[in-house]
Amino acid sequence: AGKKIELPAYFESAGFRGFTFRLKKNEEIYGTGERSVPLNRRGYKLNLYNQPAYGYSMNAESLNYSVPFIISSDGYGIFFDNPSKSYLDIGKTNNDIMQYGASSGELTFYRIPGKNMDEILRKYQSLVGTQPIPARWVFGNLMSRFGYRSEAQLMSTVNKMKAENFPVDAVILDLFWFGDSIQGTLGNLDWKNKTAWPEPKKMIANLNQQGIKTILITEPFVLNTTPNYEVSKKFQAVDSAGDPFVLTTFYFGNGGLLDLFRKDAQDWFWSKYEPQIANGVTGWWGDLGEPETHPSTMNHNLKDLGFNRIFKADEVHNIYGHYWDKMLFDKYAKEYPSVRIFNLNRSGYAGSPRYGVFPWSGDVSRSWDGLKAQLPLMIGMSMSGVPYIHADAGGFAGGDGDKELYTRWLQFATFTPVFRPHGTALGNMDPNAKDIPSEAALYDDPYKSIVRRYMQLRYAMLPYNYTMAYQQAKFGKPLVRPLFYYGSSDSNLLKAGDEFMWGDEILVAPVLEKGVAERKIYFPEGNWYNLITDEKITGHKWGSEKTDINNIPVFVKEGSFVPLFISSDPVKNTGDYTGKDLTVKYYLSAQTSAYTMFDDDGITNNTLGKGNYELINFTGRAGTKKITVKISGSHKIIQATRNIKFLFPADSKIIAAMINNKPVLKNKTGSVMNEFKNREDLIEFQYSGKPLDIVITLQ
């Protein structure tokens, strides 16, 4: 028999309608979207209303992306499917009561049972959708700042990065691509400053030839100082008289907001994207889509969605960004069906990830508290079904250019869904803003060298990271997972809120405070290997690790297989990866363990749906004198032959190796992860999709 379910009570109060639910004494509640409050949201009354918070750090209760979904430690989730202005009072007013209140709309909720977070998230995402597998280049270094002000400045910075052997997969252009000032230019949506950007199409082609994608910012506001304003007025949200609503207190200038619930408004907005796609632009950055300024007296027309009345802003506020995401996804599906969309959008709703959205955590403070805020925020979003949340790595708002903070943030960002250093460098556009570079090549040593080494590690982990994208698309698994993701009676897993799992195999404990010589870490049950030194640590206990500026503590679970892309030459970008040469490190375990690696062509849309991908299955077990590994494949063969190097921890001493009863080459390597100077035994062989039985004899 299943658990007894207590039905919620209905209420109406102070303009809100909703339900109350009883909470058990020690029940913990997770999810609710983007917040920098503790992972357990019990004791908080949280607004479900997307809103920016410039320069936020710890304890920001409301941010750009709220999600009306919770997961309980008692083995269930609840999705409140209502995008209107709402709230969740999770035991703040009454400790044993959770109350959901909505300002308008239908009151629909789904109760989702599950034995652990993995099962609950899988069921939830079967309802709202998982995120399609992104292009492989999305896992590379995305070069970004506010902002590159000219072609000359951009290309000079790209050349500097390349000369210093920093890989670059994309450049992201802020609002200066369509204007020569911060204010008064939103809505231009074209290259207006021909002096700064004389030949954008040629520039983009030049970058593409180097394997570097171009991503442009857009916003849904059109200001009355731009040439598009008059024609766009018929596509804007309106006031009570039905006239275009004029924003007069908006930071960027006076103007209107496109009513993106309307098909004609979407078509007009899309007409501004198409010329840039023709110019070679690969992806998009959608900003201010909460919407940032959205007066409650503004009205929206949802007739194209089947509604025969006008909607107030508060009724549809939280789903505005969602429909912007849907617009781009649908247009790409129709016009460019083979392309995997990249949409870096700040705001959305439950289910927005199914439209290929990569949200970032807003205008975070460039401070240690800003860095610290990213863990509960990122894990909370992951537990809300938003898997590709990430930050402006290095911080964005304010700050004094602390090089240690920059280094620690980028070390942490190496193990986040998107690696995108970002910062402010405005020059004479804003003399009061301090220029703090986001590009590592512009720093001095030792910081530059440390960040280069971690970028190389990011690229080395490309096959592992890309497999996590498959795990999300197929099974709904987040890339970032709390230690208690699979459930456990170990209460310490809940206490270790400043650690996380990067996939199932890797534990990351970022350094979040200035000048710390060591940090406390909880190691879950089992044995763990230091990713850098191969030091073995027995788990189910607290420990302490030294944390000099060179490294952050990262550990791999015993029994893990970690596929790697190891290049003898400096990697320029993800285009250097073909999958033909693969390195797999097996962290020995006496228990049988398994791992499945995913691979496809890295660029064509919907390979998963069409079956155009390859799975490589690894199983292994290590005895005192013998290691056995089996490799098999399924689906299509992406590479006819792969050259595989199999690595083992440094204390392993191989004296013989057989594959399908034939001896194979045994060798040594001194640079497993470029400058990470591990020395390990390895064996080398070829894999062509046919099953292999490997038996390795140890000394």
38 burial (CB, 10 Å; 0-12 / 13-18 / 19+) is middle
Question: Hey, what's the torsion of the CAs at 137, 141, 147, 152, to 10 degrees?
Answer: -80
Q: Vertex 231, ends 226 and 236: CA angle to 5°?
A: 90
Q: Residue 376 to residues 366, 444, 472, 503: CA-CA distances in angstroms?
A: 17, 31, 20, 17
Closest CA to 517 of 559, 539, 549: 549
DSSP string, 509-531: ----STT-SEEEEEE-SSEEEET
8 Å CB contact between 633 and 642: no
Closest CA to 97 of 7, 16, 13, 22: 22
Closest CA to 185 of 237, 121, 251, 233: 251
DSSP string, 26-52: T--EEEEES--S-S--TTEEEEE----
Q: In which region does residue 230 sit, left (phi positive, over 0), alpha (psi from -120 to 50) or beta (all else)?
A: alpha
Q: Vertex 502, ends 73 and 527: CA angle to 5°?
A: 85
SS3 of residue 283 by DSSP: strand
Q: Vertex 168, ends 164 and 174: CA angle to 5°?
A: 115
Q: In which region does residue 14 sit, left (phi positive, over 0), alpha (psi from -120 to 50) or beta (all else)?
A: left
Question: Integer distance in angstroms from the first to the last C-alpha of the chain?
Answer: 53
Closest CA to 248 of 288, 296, 295, 179: 295
Query: Other CB atoms closer than 10 Å to residue 129's CB: what's the count?
Result: 17
Report the C-alpha gap between 664 and 642 in whole angstroms: 15
Q: What's the alpha-carbon Rg for the chain, to the nearest Å?
A: 25
Q: Residue 462 to residues 343, 459, 573, 583, 599: CA-CA distances in angstroms?
A: 20, 5, 11, 11, 11
Question: Hey, what's the torsion of the CAs at 11, 12, 13, 15, to 10 degrees?
Answer: 140
**β-pair type (614-622, 626-635):** antiparallel
Report the C-alpha gap between 506 and 528 in whole angstroms: 9
Closest CA to 455 of 412, 424, 422: 412
Supply the residues annotated as catalytic.
287, 290, 363
